[in-house]
Amino acid sequence: MRALVTGGGGFIGSNIVEQLLDRGDEVRVMDNFSTGKRQNLAPVEGDVELVEGDLRSYERVSNAVQGCEVVFHQGAMPSVPRSVQDPITSSDINVGGTLNVLLAARDAGVRRVVFASSSSIYGDLPGLPRVETMAVSPAAPYAVSKLAAEHYCHVATKVYGLETVSLRYFNIFGRRQDPLSQYSAVIPKFIAALREGRSPTIHGTGEQSRDFTHIDNAVAANLLAADAPGAAGQCFNVATGESQSLNGLVQALNVLMDLDIEAVHGDPRPGDVEHSLADISQARQVLGYEPEVSFHDGLRMTIDAFDRGLAAHGPR
């Protein structure tokens, strides 16, 4: 299969690229490296075709999709806090860029587009676990942009006959997740702080909970979604079906890292949801998805990857 991975220099995208290559697929990457990193592609530099460009350019997207059978659309402006600060750019990239991908894929005869959506679209409505058929109530511009892009995916299937599958990621974590950005997810930030002997900062009480999902599970879901019959036009939760509090996360990291460092607490962040937990029965039934890496095993693997990065590059 010849595949395009938009945002292939990013955390999730680069892991998808690696797995596609491992199974013998031809891979093209589109990225403008505004948030993705060239070093994420360094191990496979000679094995992928790189198209540098912005998703907001239909011409660049059109060039990138030519000759591809499947597009794994991971490119986006990530982060809820960033979208709160700059909702216009968030919409331009996440909505307008996705529309460019869908139209270019339609015009190029692409078979299927697998879209990286987000659990943030559910917002803070009552009712757990989150089921794909329940009402949604996005609480931040980022979540609104992902929901709008999902709707465009559904319409692209219904109106244009382009197969699309939307994957609602629940707090993906693992190797290559950047701990340095102010917009980083909590797990790499907490690991970095603990490794430096600092107290990690929790925004809020720490009783807020998340369905933390290791990167290997997310990659597996993408590969399944590319071929699963009967999946076109649908959306699926990608998670473990279990939740952990942020206080529990800090405790688990302390145990795994043989430390005893307490977190400090700051003000809650606007746009953050209180609790998140997925029902993954739809992904199991239609995609054949089964999370193979547990929360604690994923934490252990992530700490190991973080330490290998420090050994290779030195403390930053």
Contact 276, 209 (CB under 8 A): yes
Task: Verify that 113 and 162 share a domain, yes or no.
Answer: yes
CATH number at residue 8: 3.40.50.720
What is the crossing angle of helices 97-108 and 141-160, to 10°? 20
What SS3 state is found at 7? coil
**Burial class (CB within 10 angstroms; exposed 0-12, middle 13-18, buried 19+) of 267:** exposed
Active site residue 58: no
C-alpha separations of 229 from 70, 74, 233 in Å? 14, 21, 11
Task: Verify that 100 and 235 share a domain, yes or no.
Answer: yes
Say how far apart CA 273 and CA 127 lie, in whole Å.
Answer: 13
Q: Domain residues for 122?
A: 2-174+214-241+277-292
Task: Verify that 64 and 191 share a domain, yes or no.
Answer: no
Q: Which one from 58, 122, 142, 289 is the annotated catalytic residue?
A: 142
Task: Verify that 192 and 162 share a domain, yes or no.
Answer: no
Q: What is the DSSP string of 267-278?
A: PPPTT--SB--B
Task: Verify that 69 and 200 share a domain, yes or no.
Answer: no
Domains: count for the chain: 2
Residues 6+ apart with CB under 8 A from 64: 4, 6, 28, 30, 51, 53, 104
Task: Verify that 192 and 233 share a domain, yes or no.
Answer: no
Residue 70, φ and ψ in degrees, nearest 5? -135, 140
CATH number at residue 254: 3.90.25.10
Q: Find residue 266's DSSP bridge partners.
A: 203
Task: Verify that 190 and 230 share a domain, yes or no.
Answer: no
Please report whether residue 180 resides in a domain: no
Say how far apart CA 6 and CA 107 lie, in whole Å.
Answer: 17
Specify the DSSP element, H or E, that contains 298: helix 295-313
In the prediction, which pLDDT does 271 show?
Answer: 86
Task: Verify that 113 and 237 share a domain, yes or no.
Answer: yes
In the chain (316 residues long), the average pLDDT of successive 10-residue segments reads: 98 98 98 96 96 98 98 96 96 98 98 98 94 96 98 98 98 93 86 97 96 98 98 98 98 98 95 93 98 98 90 41
